[in-house]
Structure 1
Amino acid sequence: MIMVSSPQKGRWKLEEPLASDLVDFCEAHRGAPERRIIADALRAFIDERLAAEPELKKRFDEARRKRLGQVEKVVKLVDGKED
């Protein structure tokens, strides 16, 4: 009888076959933590989508500004010369 451990579906709430793929990939990647694999994959996905879609990048930047409580400010530059 072969015993197969089931992936921790509840932790990340991934459906099959993705949950099993993650477990197997982590094991193949010398026991890499799931958290690191997911973080690396998510970072690559976000960076790729933002680079490919300028409108998404604008909405992303706006959402970040709102989350951080930043507002756009107009700054008037002067050259210091008197007219």
Structure 2
Amino acid sequence: MTSTGVDQPRHRTLLYFTAAASEAPWPAAELATCLAPTGGWYTDFHTATDTFVVFADKVSATHGVRPKAVAIPESRTLPRSP
């Protein structure tokens, strides 16, 4: 991918945070209120046993299942900022 879509910013945002595993549903719910409903935006994060995938106004959580890593071909990634 060599250009961004109309609904996509030119740069990505990366957030690092830590929380107790028992509190993981709270940041998931908060993030769901912040993501734009257009453009296909989502985020995900993991505890030792749970995976949370967050879209605008929707949280999907799985327990005990960790997704396998998927390699994204270079042709499908956004250009990096200098």
Interval containing the TM-score (normalised by the shorter chain): under 0.3
Greater relative CO, 1 or 2 (CA 8 Å, sep 6+): 2
Which structure features the higher share of strand residues? 2
Task: Decide which structure has the larger Cα Rg and report it.
Answer: 1
1 or 2, which has the higher helix percentage? Answer: 1
- State TM-score, norm by structure 2: 0.24
